[in-house]
Structure 1
Amino acid sequence: MTGKLLYGANLFANDIRQHYLRYGGKGHPVILIPGITSPAVTWGFVAERLAERYDVYVTDVRGRGLSSTGPDLDYGLNSMAEDVIAFAQALNLDSPALLGHSMGARIAIRASASGRASFSRIALIDPPVSGPGRRPYPSKLPWYVDSIRLSVKGIDAEGMRTFCPTWTDEQLKLRAEWLHTCYEPAIVTAFEDFHKDDIFADLPKLARPAMLMVAGRGGVIEPVDEDEVRSLCPTIEIVRVPNAGHMIPWDDFEGFFGALGDFLSR
């Protein structure tokens, strides 16, 4: 079994072009849904490790990477969740697991809670827990918008270091290369929806095994949030990666996989 990239491809599902990267090709299927400004290619280093055990499909969420983009699309959470459902159905994937990071975790929750597709289990990696009446998401919108606008003009890894000072040179080069594919209105909509759409309401609807992975240094999920999540979804497994910020595998690659363990195939 190999964890290497097999190919990139496009399919038409939920009335848009969805681009994805496939790794490994053997084992239980896993759909990896990246976060708000992370095209699929930026998760390749994680997908390669996952693909040693699983058949991994990393998606470009609409408005990012090589998937459909532009002013005529709806960039709300419901549409992104429908994309995942349609993606799994178009490829005839048999009860795939979902692994979503940040915004991607919120997409995974909404897709699974809809009950419209059979997902075997979902791993939620440090999802934003902001929403109506809740504390705001710790990152600020200008951080995203300013870096995207610079990338549209052309920015190198050193320029990107201002925004991501702890990242490696390789990670910075990849972000500098691909960030311009993140359509600014899509990012603004997603960020605003972090505060408008209360994902907690979906948690009691999760009928499959779920894991919540918390970044110990991320500041996104606090102990009080963990308590509320557990009260709404008593069967959820909560794990922490103490030395990682919000971009958990970037900060602590082995810690991420140690916390994930065999959850996706258990």
Structure 2
Amino acid sequence: MEKLINKGQKYCYTSLLYTNEEKIGYIGSDGILEEQEYIFMIKEEENQFHIHWAAETKKDFFYGLEKSLKLIEKNNTNEKRIYIEFIPKEFIKDLEKLGFKINSHFCDFWLEDIKRIKVHRPLFGDIRLMKEEEYREVAAVTRSCKGLSRGFNGEKDIFAKEWIQNENSSIVVAESDNKIVGVCFMNVYGFEGDKGPVAWVREVAVHPNYQGKGIGYSLIYYGLNWGKERGAIRSFLAVDSINYNAIKLYEKIGYKKEDGSEEISMVKE
């Protein structure tokens, strides 16, 4: 399947640029539709059918999608939703006619020089790195924020557990009342890049009962300091275009939106 993914990465329109066989998981031949003009791979997950795709033209995309939807319809006995990502803006209206709706619309934000940002002492008291055995509590905090951002459902326990297995990843936590109430998933990547390593703020979540106390602000600053210690020069994050409170926070720290860099996902319930 890796050869198919590599092939799809060269198409004009594709969702396969930033993935690989390991990330997608096994898909049997009955879940793959391949023609010269398009590739569609249908992965049945716990709560949804996830469509990975590539197409040369908009027409090819919708032709392949039509065949994919018919295939899913035959197997969708539990009425799972259909999820598709990396949608070009010009495809949205036609997908809405097919019953899809926007699940998330992420925009990229960059902090170009971490060294210029003074990492102050956290505004909120107890900020530290997560201990390995705390992964369940960390994941629970993310799930407490389900629905607070469009399309966000929180993370499974295993995701938090595996995140810190990477030596360049960490999870920053905020603790109050002897429990974890806020989390920030961090990663440093791009060590060989021309512009230097990047501190990626993958996700920030604060339990609803503890929001408005400066916890998110403190988590990010701690995370940036952690990234600086590992050589990060810049920082990157992505945020939904209508998550106005989060955008306000990121801009306050110094992040700026990168024009033309967007990621749109859509679902059909």
TM-score (norm: length of structure 1): 0.30
TM-score (norm: length of structure 2): 0.29
Higher relative contact order (CA 8 A, sep 6+): 2
Q: Which one has a larger percent helix, Structure 1 or Structure 2?
A: 1
Q: Which one has a larger percent strand, Structure 1 or Structure 2?
A: 2
